[in-house]
Amino acid sequence: MDSTISSSASLSIPKFRCFDPTYAYSPTAANHRRSFSNFSPTFKSSSRVNMVDIENYERKIVTGDAGYVLEDVPHLSDYIPDLPVYFESNEVYACIVTCGGLCPGLNTVIREIVCGLHYMYGVNNVLGIEGGYRGFYARNTIPLTPKVVNDIHKRGGTILGTSRGGHDTSKIVDSIQDRGINQVYIIGGDGTQKGASVIFEEIRRRGLKVAVARIPKTIDNDIPVIDKSFGFDTAVEEAQRAINAAHVESESFDNCIGVVKLMGRYSGFIAMYATLASRDVDCCLIPESPFYLEGPGGLFEFIEKRLNEQGHMVIVIAEGAGQDLLNECMRTMDQQDASGNKLLQDVGLWISQKIKVMALHAYALLPVVFTVTDIEQNV
């Protein structure tokens, strides 16, 4: 029995394959009845799979010796052709780089890439690029193996280090070419993803056989196409602490307002989700929804109404909200950080000062104390 099992359970390492759109599977072109073990689909270059074909698809049925019947529904893999091999496992020389700001889960992603390449595809040559993009031409490298990355998911930050800026396309591609790297895994936010696209275009222009894989990384959740990036849930959870602290302090004083500024740049996902999760927030200001301060329907009118109702309130504001109002008096739109992102003004401090000025006029004749608690939470 042992010899039967060992001879029939031969293992093979998957190959790196790429999809050729000229091939598509037509279920109507062949007899669909097959078992799990001997399914081998037929592909035709001029046919396409459509919903009618899927509905007419005959399900796989397996009948066992004991009388059981196993019926399976169509799966996407049944319609994917046997793709040609693009990289042999022993030829792969991969590298991983992390760029931009820190994000919860970076080491976990590095670990899974290394372990996935090793255990699923038999790739033994994986290189870690230290210090972001500039690490390609100005820093050391780290050989990455499953043993090296075994426990890194328990640490914060990134074992590879990171940096902003340093994107020199020519030097980066030169380094990739000189080292013989043929798979590049780039982990970063929106600016990093733009840089990865430029690197890919340069690689294609030179005609190099190099694959570039981009892994979106941002707690702001501001990268299109994906629904949610890793680290976002942690950011929302951490924001609860700041909101809770502001709520406790605001309800402890008469006419006290707790102002919590959260990260997000020009995206209000952290502020919005943290507000929905907290239930203690009276007003949430995000970049996607412009607001104004004075006049009917303005922020000051709402603040005065809420203070009259309950005597305290909590305001959550995303760091990118209200920037148009700040720029009317602070002309700094041309300033950028190392990654090329526009520097944002401190909207939390600005709106706190505006509220204090408003309160001095609105409550000047009343014997009450007005307090603004400004909490900035960087997660």
Verify that 120 and 37 share a domain, yes or no: no
Q: Which of 68, 72, 47, 44 is nearest to 57 (CA)?
A: 72
Let me know whether 245 and 161 are in one domain.
no
CB distance 127 to 92 below 8 Å: no
User: Can you read off the two tokens belonging to residue 194?
Assistant: 């733009």
224 inside domain: no
Q: Kindly report, residue by residue over 335-358, the tens digit of the pLDDT.
A: 666 556 666 777 888 888 888 887
Choosing from 32, 62, 79, the residue where a domain stops is 79
Q: How many domains does the chain have?
A: 3
Does residue 337 fall inside a structural domain? yes
Q: Does 4 map to a domain?
A: no
The CATH number for 334's domain is: 3.40.50.460
* Cβ partners under 8 Å of residue 73, min gap 6: 59
Domain boundary (32, 53, 79) is at 79
- Residue 168 sits in the same domain as residue 206: yes
Q: Is 227 exposed, middle or buried (0-12, 13-18, 19+ CB in 10 A)?
A: exposed
- Residue 242: name the closest of 348, 373, 352, 375 by CA: 375
Same domain, 247 and 367: yes
Asked if 132 and 22 sit in the same domain, the reply is: no
For 225-250, write each residue's pLDDT tens digit.
Answer: 788 888 899 889 989 888 998 899 88
The count of residues in the chain is 379
- Domain annotation covers residue 10: no
> Residue 6 falls within a domain, yes or no?
no
- Do both 66 and 105 map to the same domain? no
Quick one: three-class SS letters along the chain?
CHHHHHHHCCCCCCCEECCCCCCEECHHHCCCCCCCCCCCCCEECCCCCCHHHHHCCCCEEEECCCCCEEEECCCHHHHCCCCCEEECHHHCCEEEEECCCCCCCHHHHHHHHHHHHHHHHCCCCEEEECCHHHHHHHCCEEECCCCCCCCHHHCCCCCCCCCCCCCCHHHHHHHHHHHCCCEEEEEECHHHHHHHHHHHHHHHHHCCCCEEEEEECCCCCCCCCCCCCCCHHHHHHHHHHHHHHHHHHHCCCCCEEEEEEECCCCCCHHHHHHHHHHCCCCEEECCCCCCCCCCCCCHHHHHHHHHHHHCEEEEEEECCCCHHHHCCCCCCCCCECCCCCECCCCHHHHHHHHHHHHHHHHCCCCCCCCEEEEEEECC
State the residue range of the domain holding 143: 88-216
**What is d(CA 194, CA 356) in angstroms, rounded to the nearest whole number?**
41
We report the CATH number of the domain holding residue 166 as: 3.40.50.450
Other C-beta atoms within 10 Å of 379: how many? 20
- pTM of whole model > 0.75? no
Q: What residues does 25 pair with on adjacent strands?
A: 43
Task: Note the Cα 72 to chain centre separation in Å.
Answer: 34
* 7 falls within a domain: no
Residues 68 and 179 placed together within one structural domain of the fold: no
- Position 96 in a domain: yes
* Single-letter amino acid, residue 73: V
| Dist. CA 83–CA 86, nearest whole Å | 9
What does each of the 379 residues of the chain score in pLDDT, given as a tens digit? 444 444 334 444 555 544 343 443 334 333 333 332 333 343 333 344 454 454 555 556 667 677 666 666 666 666 666 667 788 899 999 999 999 888 889 999 999 999 999 999 999 999 999 999 999 998 788 999 999 999 999 998 999 999 888 788 999 999 999 999 999 999 998 888 889 999 999 999 999 999 999 999 888 888 877 888 888 998 899 898 889 988 998 888 888 888 899 988 788 999 999 999 988 999 999 998 888 888 888 898 899 899 889 888 999 999 888 887 876 656 555 666 655 666 677 788 888 888 888 777 766 544 344 455 555 555 4
Do 189 and 266 sit in the same domain of this protein? Answer: no
The residues assigned a catalytic role are 220
Domain shared by 138 and 160, yes or no: yes
- 156 and 50 both lie in a single domain: no
Which of the listed residues 79, 103, 126 is the one where a domain comes to its end?
A: 79
Residue 8 domain-assigned (yes or no): no
pLDDT at 286: 92
* Pair 350, 292 in one domain: yes
My answer on whether 241 and 373 are in the same domain is yes
